[in-house]
Chain A
């Protein structure tokens, strides 16, 4: 007789075990950021790779979302004669929520997948083992620079996304919804509070950490050739996205309460 509850229990245990393993890995990754030796060259290269080269993706995402947001708020606001709130709600929505979350999701695709594929390939071709035999800790050489770079550059990217997102809303509002440009900007700036931006940046830093450590975790533990690396890449993206959305809710709830 097969116990019908067994698969549920097995699944739950496996999920808990995986969560535990990832937590241990992420803790070790975070700790290795603060303990020498430091590889500054690797860190600089990762800042370029993760931060700078993500600018086009982030910029394009932000401008379109800002534009669409302005249109939607205009239509929604018109139902109770509140069209004038477009700039306020656009800037609030972008800085507190859409800027960090969309930047996080885009980078989960771009960066998490890239890290998982690179470290995963290094794992299956024994490059990680080779690094160990060369007295170099892969956590410090490979993982710490990526985790630190993602944690520091994602907030910078989000500041840029915020500005470009607001600009997207501004362009649509001024060019097709009949807003006055100066008034739109004045309303945006007057309405925005420091806290709105700070919340967004805190989220961005946490998402950056999640993105890099999830990619590294999946890559580091991959096995079984091309198939294994493919699986690691998929798991990294899915894992990072789910975790970003869950943590986003927790951070939002924490700041709202």
Chain B
């Protein structure tokens, strides 16, 4: 079976620093891959390269086996329709209401009529358990957890093939974080899509991952089923999941 999404030898240099030094990753349809790693190890850059928001210096990003790295913008926009992304801070458009945010792709990219788009948005709000009475407020009036739900609703409204999550639980209290984790698992299962998440929250990683990969020094240093994470045999993984300052990884303070 061809991978839904495959990263081959991705390299990226930013401000003179080699952030990614040959990252290889792939995720099969219907599987959830979580990339863990410390701050500044290139998790976000990996995600941005996969999404096409950043051009890698070398390497390829394959979606359904087709290289999307060097596609013209119009064709990439079509590939983007297969993607849904939940941003770390929500990245909701603060000039639009919650329902317009959720239905953004339908209104502005697919040119669906507003009344129909609104119905769709409210239906999706129910799915992520966001009360429909919030449809007409601005995102700024929502709590952090509700913003994540709205962001998730916006990501899944067009039934994507691949969902991306950037630190889905960062900034949330443990209970809300767990609710968001449950929601992610539920949505990924319901849509049957592939999921790629980056996080440094191990509780979140254990909950949502089928497979876990650890990024360190611009490379994938370990990869395996989520169930094997405690018996990885890799000193860096052990240090990371135990959260120890001493070990092969030097803490950056």
Contact = CB atoms under 8 A, between A and B. Distances in A.
Contacts of B109: 134-136
A221 interface: no
Contacts of B55: none
Nearest to A133: B85
B91 to A, nearest CB: 4
B48 A134 contact: no
Interface stretch (B22-30, B59-67, B75-83): B75-83
Interface in B126-175: 154, 164
A133 B88 contact: no
Interface residues of B, number: 26
Given A39-B108, A137-B73, A141-B108, A132 B80 contact: yes
Contacts of B52: 132
A135 B89 contact: no
Interface in B185-236: none
Contacts of B94: 127
A71 B105 CA distance: 58
A136 B53 contact: no
B104 interface: yes
Given A135-B80, A135-B81, A130 B93 contact: yes
Contacts of B164: 133
Nearest to B155: A133
B51 interface: yes
Contacts of A130: 85, 87, 91-93, 154
Given A129-B48, A130-B87, A136 B93 contact: no
B89 A125 contact: yes
A197 to B, nearest CB: 36
A134 B104 contact: yes
A133 B89 contact: no
Most chain B CB neighbours (cut-off 10 Å) among A122, A129, A141: A129
Contacts of A193: none
Contacts of B56: none
Interface residues on A, range: 10 to 19
Contact of A126 (B81, B88, B105, B111): B88
B51 A133 contact: yes
B196 to A, nearest CB: 13
Contacts of B111: 37
Interface in A80-115: none
A136 B78 CA distance: 10
Contacts of B104: 131, 134, 136
Nearest to B79: A135
B91 A137 contact: no
Interface in A26-74: 37, 39
Contacts of A37: 108, 111
Interface in A117-157: 122, 125-127, 129-137, 141
Contacts of B78: 135
Given A39-B108, A126-B89, A127-B93, A133 B84 contact: yes
Interface of B: 48, 51-53, 73, 77-78, 80-81, 83-85, 87-89, 91-94, 104-105, 108-109, 111, 154, 164
Given A129-B48, A134-B154, A136-B105, 11 more contacts: A122-B93, A125-B89, A132-B52, A133-B51, A133-B80, A133-B83, A133-B164, A135-B105, A135-B109, A136-B108, A136-B109
Interface of A: 37, 39, 122, 125-127, 129-137, 141
